[in-house]
Amino acid sequence: MALVTRRRNAGQISGESIVIEAAWMYYHDGLNQTEIAGQLGVSRATVVNYLQEAKTRGFIRISLSASAFTTHQLAQDLREKYNLTAAYVVPDGNGRDEDTLMRVARGAGEWLPSLLEPGDRLGVAWGRTIFEVAEALEHSQTGDVAGDITVSQLVGSMATPYGFTAEICSAHMAQRLGAKCINLHAPAVLSDPDLAARLRAEPIIRDQIEALSRCNKAIFAAGSCDHTSHVVSSGVASHADLDWYIAQGATGVLCGRFIDAKGRSIPGDLDARIIGVELDRLLNLDMGLLVSTGADKVAPMQAAIAGGYVTHVVTSSSTAAGMLAE
């Protein structure tokens, strides 16, 4: 264990760690490494080391300002067409969907903190996208967001083939935001309606579900409604279920519930077996942040927006273009 890092510190302007001093000179004063090396009395190479340490230690945060993504044409159009409070459109990059998803998640991760304020109770849904958003938060935030935020898990947990669960999504997000976390300690879907009812009645679960209705903000993704969708692969619905819902006009999936093109919840078999927020609860929130990308998400996103659950959107430019095409 290296206890005290023993560095030379001559020529410093303040007694602060020389790493900070160097980072300050570089990023704040705009000096170049040669000048800094001169003033600090070390070699340029050492200055490089200091700066890298500053980066890895998180002293330096480089992010693209939200305005860049919310002001440009696609975002504006999206906002107008769907009457949103704000939209955040990130470039697709190379065509790979995977990369685009990461970009969208990262964008959401950078934007989210600025959308929250002390006292907020944020509901967090589940899914690959949301998981990545939570991950992305880590890099952009150093844990100094305005405190006193509570994160609630919007839907029950699910054994997934993806290695991330609803708990992990909300727990990660809470951790990155420095927020308290209320998990929902129950499966997302049960095989038997009675069991589900009894579980919902359990005091612990009931309290947790009740906490959900106190959320004033929420973050969720729109799920698509085809047979490759996560709804099926994660076991929420069987292929048969899916076909039935599609026949009823299902256009997308929101927090485990099927919605039609107008965003209305489609009543069905599953409702009684699901443990999670009811879609009604997501209406009229201070913020409903929809994070999704992909051509197959265009219709589900439109449905979710039509349902009135959405005030803010994060997506990719091609998806945005798809939503704007008529």
114 binds DNA (CB under 7 A): no
CA distances from 69 to 41, 101, 212 (A): 42, 16, 30
Cα dihedral 88, 124, 311, 298 sign: positive
Provide, rounded to whole angstroms, the least separation between the CB of residue 46 and DNA.
3
49/71 with CB nearer DNA: 49
CB under 8 Å to 214, separation ≥6 — which residues? 121, 152
Cα dihedral 280, 265, 121, 186 sign: positive
Do 245 and 266 meet the contact criterion of CB atoms below 8 Å apart? Answer: yes
24 binds a second copy (CB under 8 A): yes
d(CA 284, CA 289): 12
d(CA 260, CA 249): 5
Candidate residues 11, 13, 14, 52; the one interacting with DNA per rule CB under 7 A: 52
Amino acid at 185: H
Candidate residues 17, 23, 24, 42; the one interacting with DNA per rule CB under 7 A: 42
310 binds DNA (CB under 7 A): no
6 binds DNA (CB under 7 A): yes
63 binds DNA (CB under 7 A): no
Q: Which of the ranges 40-48, 68-76, 85-93, 198-206 carries the binding residues for DNA, by CB under 7 A?
A: 40-48
d(CA 41, CA 141): 32
For helices 44-56 and 33-40, the axis angle rounded to 10 degrees is 100
Q: Which does 54 bind (CB under 5 to 8 A by kind): DNA, a second copy, none?
A: a second copy
21/260 with CB nearer DNA: 21
CA distances from 202 to 128, 164, 167, 189 (A): 29, 25, 19, 16
* Contacts of a second copy in 40-59 (CB under 8 A): 54, 57-59
Q: Which does 33 bind (CB under 5 to 8 A by kind): DNA, a second copy, none?
A: DNA
Q: Which of the ranges 4-12, 188-196, 292-300, 314-322 carries the binding residues for DNA, by CB under 7 A?
A: 4-12
37 binds a second copy (CB under 8 A): no
CA distances from 253 to 90, 162, 249 (A): 23, 18, 12
Candidate residues 32, 61, 148, 280; the one interacting with a second copy per rule CB under 8 A: 61
Total of residues contacting a second copy (CB under 8 A): 63
Q: What is the DSSP letter of 28?
A: I
d(CA 306, CA 78): 13
Q: Which of the ranges 65-73, 199-207, 252-260, 273-281 carries the binding residues for a second copy, by CB under 8 A?
A: 65-73
Provide, rounded to whole angstroms, the least separation between the CB of residue 103 and DNA.
19
Amino acid at 127: G
* Contacts of a second copy in 71-130 (CB under 8 A): 71-76, 79, 86-95, 103, 106-107, 110-111, 114
Q: Which does 87 bind (CB under 5 to 8 A by kind): DNA, a second copy, none?
A: a second copy
Q: Pick from 75, 131, 126, 145: which is nearest to 236 by CA?
A: 126
209 binds a second copy (CB under 8 A): no
17/160 with CB nearer a second copy: 17
d(CA 149, CA 178): 8
Residues that bind DNA (CB under 7 A): 2-3, 5-8, 26, 32-34, 42-46, 48-52, 142, 144
Residues that bind a second copy (CB under 8 A): 4, 8-10, 12-17, 20-21, 23-25, 27-29, 39, 54, 57-69, 71-76, 79, 86-95, 103, 106-107, 110-111, 114, 140, 142, 144, 314, 317-318, 321
